[in-house]
Amino acid sequence: MTKHGGGVQDAAAIGELHRKHAGRKLLVLLVLAALTVLAVLGAATLGSASLGIGDVVHVILVKLGLAGGSVDALGNAIVWELRLPRILLALVTGLALAGSGTVMQGVLRNPLVSPFTLGLSSAAAFGASVAIIAGASLPGNLRYWIIGSAFFFGMATVLFIYFVASLKGSGKATYLLSGVAISYVFSAGVSVMKYVSDHEALREIVVWLMGGLWGASWHVVAILLPLVVGILLVLLANAWNLNVMAGGEEVAASMGVHVKRLRLLVLVLATLAASATIAFTGIIGFIGLMAPHICRMLVGGDNRYLIPCSALMGAVLLIVSDTIGRTVIAPTEIPVGIITSFIGVPFFMYLLIRQRRQWWG
């Protein structure tokens, strides 16, 4: 026979447990939000000209019209024109890569999926190289051609993988193997591009492939920030649907989720966010894989908390990485893609080894 618990006591205990868990998740979220603000402000104080955090806050408040007074030309140039756009590009790229990694892992029920592992990054790299090579013969601003081409190839890749998976069944191996295969094809394509390119184009391709935030400007931030935040909000609105996907596609369907539509929506939006930022920054690996995993260890699998937590975690990681990259051997800058690999991988391995629980068996 079933053991019967104490009824009322049980209900109170469960309610208490639920409050405790929810409170802890909310706390993690708030701490991450605070860390993000601190990272932005802290990063703005660091660099060749050292500024106090008070100076930085002053410049920002004056520029936003929230405080009176005036800003000196140097402060304006360094904080507002140089550092902040770059920091905000790091922020939005981190949000996009980590957020899209999280939902891709969720909707494909696969812990190894990220913009990087699905082949999206190499496809975007190929697209960018093509535009760089074709550079001179293209009308208009080359920057936009690079962005457009990177984006086009990224999106085409994800739709192709989705198509293969819908033919072949959405087993774990299908997505990863297609992603690996596509990565190889496009890497080979990039090599061809490098081989046939002239000296200048070659340099530009190599720099783009390393992944960096040199391309930052208020203009870029103004394009990306609304796009990425908007996409994250739509994904967040689907948090419950993503949660029930955890029980399997059939369970999700039985609970009223239109599984195919959800999968397509999430993949397209995640790809849009990731490849839009990749187009401006080049390839930055590991954020999209690392941030969701760290946050899953912190808040568990509930996407209502997981999506915002890992997006913020991605932003913090990327801001910190880029700040290290541009200050550690200044005036020489290390591309942020190299830094994320250097700090990201050992940290990730440490967590994996230390971690008691293993998600996804």
- Give the residues lining the site for another protein (CB under 8 A): 1-7, 10-11, 13-15, 17-18, 21, 109, 240, 243-244, 246-248, 250-251, 253-258, 296-297, 300-302, 304, 357-361
Smaller CB separation from another protein, 156 or 265: 265
Smaller CB separation from another protein, 84 or 291: 291
CB of 361 to another protein, least distance (A): 5
Smaller CB separation from another protein, 157 or 238: 238
CB of 110 to another protein, least distance (A): 11
CB of 22 to another protein, least distance (A): 8
Smaller CB separation from another protein, 9 or 332: 9
Smaller CB separation from another protein, 17 or 330: 17
End-to-end CA, the chain: 31
CB of 57 to another protein, least distance (A): 34
- Residue 330 · residue 48 · CB < 8 Å: yes
Smaller CB separation from another protein, 77 or 173: 173
3-state helix, strand, coil split of the chain in percent (to 5) is 75, 0, 25
Q: What angle do CA 63, 228, 261 make, to 5 degrees?
A: 160
CB of 127 to another protein, least distance (A): 33
Which among 264, 307, 314, 352 is positioned nearest to 102, based on CA atoms? 307
CB of 245 to another protein, least distance (A): 9
CB of 14 to another protein, least distance (A): 4
Instruction: Tell me the DSSP string of 16-71.
Output: HHHHHHHHHHHHHHHHHHHHHHHHHHHHHH-SSS---HHHHHHHHHHHTTSS-S--
Q: Which helix (H) or strand (E) covers residue 310, if one does?
A: helix 303-327
CB of 262 to another protein, least distance (A): 11
- What six digits make up the tokens of 74? 């140097």
- What six digits make up the tokens of 248? 């399997």
Smaller CB separation from another protein, 306 or 311: 306
CA distance 26 to 300: 12
CA distances from 68 to 19, 29, 44, 62 (A): 44, 33, 21, 6
CA distance 225 to 92: 6
Smaller CB separation from another protein, 72 or 250: 250
- What six digits make up the tokens of 73? 């030309």
CA distances from 146 to 89, 151, 224, 234, 288 (A): 17, 8, 15, 27, 22
